[in-house]
Amino acid sequence: MMWKGRFSEQTAELVVKYTESISYDRRLYAYDIAGSIAHARAQVGAGTLSPDEFELIEAGLLSIKESIEAGEFTWSKELEDVHMNIESELTKRIGPVGAKLHAARSRNDQVATDTRLYTREACEVILDEIRNLQTALVEKATEYQDVVMPGYTHLQRGQPVSMAHHLLAYVEMLDRDAQRLEQAKTRLNVSPLGSGALAGSTICLDREQVAHELGFDSVSQNSMDAIADRDYILEVLFDISLIGAHLSRLSEDLILWSSAEFGFVVLADAHTTGSSLMPQKKNPDIAEITRGKTGRLYGSLISVLTAVKGLPLTYNRDLQEDKEPLFDAVDTIVMALAVNAEQMRGMTVMKERCLIAASDSMLLATDLADYLVREGVAFRDAHEIVGSAVAIAIEQGVELSSLPQSTWAELHPVLDRDLSFIFNLKAALEARDNPGAPAPKQVAIQLARWQEVLSE
């Protein structure tokens, strides 16, 4: 009987198809090659490779990288994954020296290194796109700084705000998203190389040297944790999911605002589509697809959470299921951020339509209650008095501001006067002058702050 290591027969063809990962993990090739070069250099220090052998391995790996990038590399499913494909090709190109590369490491610490390097770089790309969208939002907020519109709760008109204040709310959300990614990037930037299959190796390489070469901040402190850990992927997938949630909320606003019922904005023709049947339609497809893709992002997070939830230490093949969700989530969020920034820059705000909606005097009912409070009326009593006025106005089919003075006098003596100063939209906005409120002065401060932050 012919034995090949532990096994006496070849892997079944169906098993090869079922278990291979090369169809998707090939995108890790650059990180795998960088890790292999750093590992080989450390082997020289450990005495398992000579300097000449290292140079041969490094040149061979770099030539493989060139072949891959030129589209001239043939990937083999029979070799399972990116690691074995590259190592096998290396041995073909440089001979037996290539077989020395894998000493003192396992595919377990190898793939953990590759995915950390990939995820670190993905965070940088996502951060760039977050800043791009924030910049687009600030640009649009600056352009329409003087536009007043209703603010909503429960999708009911609440109080007046500015379009700039509304858009800046999303800038703040995205900034927290960026902070979370920066923090995740710090936690994931730890080198697992040298952890071997689970218990390190009797060939002790200089792990600090390897980590430094690969741009890691430190080395892992427990070999079993280093091999089994996928926290860094889960954390980034959560951060991506939350970015998706924020984009979905922005999308919902744009879908509502661009409808005939609201008419607050017009999206550019380049960022909308028509109907195959109804000639008049202009559909906010980017916003709708973004809203839909949020579920896809959530699915990636849940997929990996489920894959790791019952795994004993250390490595189990279930962990192969971490990469496709990660790759898909990164690709999806990068595209979503980029296209939403482009859509935002092409959006036109309909100033008059916003102003008409904001001129509903019901939006200043709370201002009237605040006036009563300043005049010594308890807030709960003031709330009830103004609520009664609202009910009367609705019953009579008139604006709240149009109620006669006699009605106001009946409701409370303090209201027996000309109340037009309360129902002044410009003054009402200017009065909201606490930090973080929508007074034009406060909005201008925030715009200047964000312009400075984003210019850096």
Chain centroid to CA 99: how far?
A: 41
Please pick, among 23, 50, 275, 402, the residue that the annotation labels catalytic.
275
229 and 259 Cβ atoms separated by less than 8 Å: no
151 and 178 Cβ atoms separated by less than 8 Å: no
Residue 2: the pLDDT is: 46
350 and 388 Cβ atoms separated by less than 8 Å: no
Active site residue 83: no
**Could you read off the pLDDT of 4-50 as tens digits, one per residue?**
677 778 889 999 999 999 999 999 999 999 999 999 999 999 999 99
User: For the chain, where do the domains classified as CATH 1.20.200.10 start and end?
Assistant: 108-144+162-196+218-355
**Could you read off the pLDDT of 159-179 as tens digits, one per residue?**
999 999 999 999 999 999 999
Unique residue bearing structure tokens 């200043």: 364
Q: Can you tell me the distance from the alpha carbon of 333 to that of 341, in angstroms, rounded to the nearest whole number? A: 12
Q: pTM of the full predicted structure?
A: 0.95
Share of the chain above pLDDT 70, in %: 99
Pick the CATH number of 13-103 from 3.40.50.1820, 3.40.50.300, 3.90.45.10, 1.10.275.10: 1.10.275.10
Residue 53: the pLDDT is: 98
Instruction: Count each helix (H run) and each strand (E run) in the chain, helices first.
Output: 18, 6
Based on its alpha-carbon atoms, the radius of gyration of the chain, rounded to whole angstroms, reads 31
Output the six-digit token pair for 266. Answer: 């017009």
Active site residue 246: no
Residue 4: the pLDDT is: 63
Give the length of the chain.
456
**Could you read off the pLDDT of 420-448 as tens digits, one per residue?**
999 999 999 999 999 999 999 999 999 99
389 and 368 Cβ atoms separated by less than 8 Å: yes
**Could you read off the pLDDT of 167-212 as tens digits, one per residue?**
999 999 999 999 999 999 999 999 999 999 999 999 999 999 999 9
Residue from 166, 253, 182 nearest 447 by CA? 166
What CATH architecture applies to the domain 108-144+162-196+218-355? Up-down Bundle (1.20)
Unique residue bearing structure tokens 């300097």: 51
User: For the chain, where do the domains classified as CATH 1.10.40.30 start and end?
Assistant: 357-455
Residue 71: the pLDDT is: 97
Output the six-digit token pair for 371. Answer: 């006036």
Q: Can you tell me the distance from the alpha carbon of 58 to that of 60, in angstroms, rounded to the nearest whole number? A: 5
Q: How many CB atoms lie within 10 A of CB 3?
A: 8
Unique residue bearing structure tokens 């790791």: 308
Residue 322: the pLDDT is: 98
Output the six-digit token pair for 328. Answer: 């898909």
User: For the chain, where do the domains classified as CATH 1.10.275.10 start and end?
Assistant: 13-103
442 and 378 Cβ atoms separated by less than 8 Å: no
Please pick, among 154, 276, 406, 420, the residue that the annotation labels catalytic.
154
CATH class, range 357-455: mainly alpha
Give strand ranges (E) for 73-217: 148-153, 156-162, 190-191
Residue 10: the pLDDT is: 86
